[in-house]
């Protein structure tokens, strides 16, 4: 029996999500402290935001910046990472506004230090009108926690009926953001690590050995090309 030809679509994913892994190994290879890897990782974030903003059809970029599990790292690294984020937010706000990039945050934000929460609120407000690209910074984020928090939110609202997929989706951290179409993970690890568990149910995955600080526009392009050759069936057979 002749096989059904695979339909190849040249399309751009509307929402790309990235597990930015390998900062530590990048630094180790160069004999530098881990924090130097995170600093270089922040430069890669800038490059990829710029590339994503100029890619027609790419509307959302989610970045796994700090997981609920990352608190278990040495204190100096955790403090260094959070302070790097704060510095990044302070120094990039005007540039992002100018380039019409909206930035929103997703995760247990209310558990972060007050000054970081203030910075985040300012940032979201300042960039709210950006219509070129929406960047979702997943911060103190865990995929299981997002589902648990969503269900608890429903319970707090007094919901006592049958839970549906639509109800859970509507009570996640960022209900207005569509599910990711493509999830990229750098540094050779092939795991989801508690990232966007609910949202990535039908996502395509792209894994690359490139360490995050080395990830550039060409690597993003490769991932987008890989996506455009995939046929998504959504379980329809």
CB closer to ligand FPP out of 58 and 82: 82
Q: Does 219 bind ligand FPP (CB under 6 A)?
A: no
**Residue 21 is among the residues annotated as catalytic for this protein:** yes
| Mode of pairing for the β-strands spanning 60-67 and 101-106 | unpaired
CB closer to ligand FPP out of 12 and 70: 70
Q: What are the structure tokens assigned to 137, written together?
A: 């910074």
Q: Does 88 bind ligand FPP (CB under 6 A)?
A: yes
What CA–CA distance (Å, rounded) separates 189 from 187?
6
Q: Which stretch binds ligand FPP (CB under 6 A): 20-28, 122-130, 177-185, 202-210?
A: 20-28
Among residues 216, 163, 169, the alpha carbon closest in space to that of 44 is found at 216
CB-based contacts of 124, cutoff 8 Å, min separation 6: 103, 104, 105
Q: What are the structure tokens assigned to 32, written together?
A: 């530098």
Per the residue annotation, which of 70, 179, 194, 214 is the catalytic one? Answer: 70
What CA–CA distance (Å, rounded) separates 85 from 16?
21
Q: Which stretch binds ligand FPP (CB under 6 A): 14-22, 123-131, 163-171, 193-201?
A: 14-22
CB closer to ligand FPP out of 55 and 187: 187
**Residues in 123-182 that interact with ligand FPP by CB under 6 A:** 137
Element at 119 (helix H, strand E): helix 114-127
Residues in touch with ligand FPP (CB under 6 A): 20-25, 38, 41-42, 45, 63, 65, 70, 84-85, 88, 137, 187
């Amino acid at each position: 029996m002749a096989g059904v030809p695979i339909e190849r679509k040249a399309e751009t994913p509307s929402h790309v999500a990235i597990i930015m892994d390998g900062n530590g190994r990048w630094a180790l290879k160069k004999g530098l402290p881990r924090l130097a890897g995170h600093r270089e990782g922040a430069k890669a974030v800038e490059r990829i935001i710029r590339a994503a903003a100029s890619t027609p059809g790419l509307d959302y970029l989610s970045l796994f910046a700090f997981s609920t599990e990352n608190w278990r790292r040495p204190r100096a690294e955790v403090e260094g990472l959070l302070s790097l984020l704060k510095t990044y937010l302070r120094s990039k706000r005007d540039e992002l506004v100018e380039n019409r990039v909206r930035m929103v945050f997703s995760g247990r934000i209310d558990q972060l230090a007050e000054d970081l929460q203030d910075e985040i609120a300012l940032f979201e407000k300042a960039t709210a009108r950006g219509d070129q690209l929406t960047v979702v910074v997943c911060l103190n984020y865990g995929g299981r926690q997002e589902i648990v928090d969503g269900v608890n939110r429903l319970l707090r609202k007094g919901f006592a009926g049958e839970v549906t997929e639509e109800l859970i989706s509507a009570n996640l951290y960022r209900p207005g953001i569509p599910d990711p179409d493509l999830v990229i993970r750098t540094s050779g690890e092939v795991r989801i690590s508690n990232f966007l568990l609910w949202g990535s149910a039908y996502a395509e995955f792209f894994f690359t050995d490139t360490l995050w600080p080395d990830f550039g526009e060409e690597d993003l392009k490769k991932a987008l090309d890989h996506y455009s050759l995939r046929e998504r069936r959504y379980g329809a057979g």
